[in-house]
Amino acid sequence: MKGTRYIFHVAILLTYLRMCSGQSDDEYPVVEIENGQVRGRSSYTVGENRRYFSFQGIPFAEPPLGQLRFRAPVKISNWTGILNATEDRSFCVQQSDPVIGSEDCLFINVYTPSLEGANRTVMVWIYGGSFVTGLSSYTENGPDYILDEGVIFVSLNYRLGALGFLSTEDAAAPGNWGLKDQLLALQWVQNNIGYFGGNASAVTVFGQSAGAASISYLLQSDKAAGLFSKVITQSGSSLCLWGLNRRARRTAFSIGTSLGISTNNSTVLLEKLREVDYTTLQTTATTVSTLITLENPLQGIFFGPVIEPESEEAIVVGRSDELFVEGSFQRVPILTGVNSNEAAAVGDVPDILRLYLTMYDVGVENLAPIDLNKRFSVRSTAAHIIMYRYFGFGLITIAPWDQVIKFISDDQWYRPVRRMVQSLSDYVPVYFYKFSYEGNLFGVTNRNFTGVGHSEELGYIFERNASVNYNVTETDRNVRAITVKLWTNFAKYGDPTPSPEPLLQNVNWEVAGTDLPNLNYLDINVELALKQNPFEESMEFYDGIYDTYGDSPYDTY
């Protein structure tokens, strides 16, 4: 009897202490997952003021430090006690000056409208940032509007730059560590999302730019089979020229040379690089990779995925374009698209930097897609035709900037994304879009270009920098509501317009490939409009270039 009274008094005391500290079980719920217990917190969405629960900064891998640097991630060990998951943790090392971030960064975040049941749709976000920047924090990717639709949102960190993608293109360092982080995180979702009310069989993975290219690679990997049921890729594909690093081995050894490591042996290089502190390594890697990239940015940028030698842990082992054409990918519904003027985000450049473009005037062959043909004479002929198509008989150095932007948009985004849509449409339902609404939610001020630049659509999916006044209009909010509804409908039903809906103007978004070679797409603007063949003239031109001068099979396109 005394023991019973003792337990009763302790329970009252604990309840009192929680009330005094403001930490009730309801406000700071504890969930037991595969590795142990985690404590989250409750909040309310900025849109409809709906309650949700967030669990931020949950480790899904052992810290990739020391001998785990430049290796595939290792699943996190179990912990004892209750892990505090009430705020964002470290983000991965960024390509920046000064260097910011941490090597101990492999964390995942879960936001759920309810902890009851286990049948909610799940959307997993993979950020972009050219494979050298990006983070999964709430300030960058606030999921409030997704949560308002009753969908669970998951975001994750993956390694970037040299720490995420350095490769010697052999068994010593096959590379793609960042992609392997994503893979392990998706496995974590399968094993744990049910504890947060989610349905592991209803996971949509979505991402933008480098995140979209990453998803394309995961789509082609047997290792990712069964980890997601639908895919959304925004402004990116593994077919993009910037989505494949063809100069990885050279970059890795050049970093070593810059750090005083003199060797031709990959194993020795990796052993020495693991001894370098991460800030020195990242600073050196930034300098070296930038110099190599500037030799011709159209051939790929900084760091990124590589085609790996075959091994048990390899993710990227084939040519992406060839795999898509052959149908060697996971057969799941796909929503994909681009913004109406992707390269406009580059903006104008000072006249002195225009001199850099002289490299294309004196080396016209650099304008041809690197994957087109290995024969220099053939690539050179194709490049001169491309030069005339976009710049006439003039020089790129003095061309109107709109012409330069159009060439970059077609070359780096529209051609590869449309090619992916065409190839995938032979096998699975593909919903193709062009985002054309020129609004204020991404924070573009003094818009001095037409169309929507790279990344702008993110402002119409996430709550970003809520404290900044972007002069948001009611039209902005309405386009945001439309975009979120299309995305979450697709995640729930595999169809962004499953039934007539006034918010979506009762539109029926048809799949892209019902009338091949014509491609259906939805133009997302104030008025939703079903159209065909975006960027048609430019795309027909490039198809002709590949048909006449190309030497397949291709990796990018």
Active site members: 209
Residues 6+ apart with CB under 8 A from 121: 150, 151, 152, 198, 199, 202, 204, 488, 491, 492
Exposure on the CB side of residue 402, measured as CA atoms within 13 A: 4
Exposure on the CB side of residue 476, measured as CA atoms within 13 A: 18
Find the length of the chain.
557
Output the six-digit token pair for 187.
């496995």
d(CA 220, CA 236): 15
- Give the number of other CB atoms < 10 A from CB of residue 347: 11
Evaluate whether 346 touches 354 at the Cβ level (below 8 Å): no
Output the six-digit token pair for 152.
């669970």
Output the six-digit token pair for 103.
């090597």
Helices and strands (DSSP H and E) totals, the chain:
16, 14
- CA 219, chain centre distance (Å): 13
Evaluate whether 307 touches 217 at the Cβ level (below 8 Å): no
Residues 6+ apart with CB under 8 A from 396: 357, 360, 361, 387, 404
Evaluate whether 449 touches 347 at the Cβ level (below 8 Å): yes
Evaluate whether 108 touches 135 at the Cβ level (below 8 Å): no
Output the six-digit token pair for 428.
């699975």
- Give the number of other CB atoms < 10 A from CB of residue 197: 20
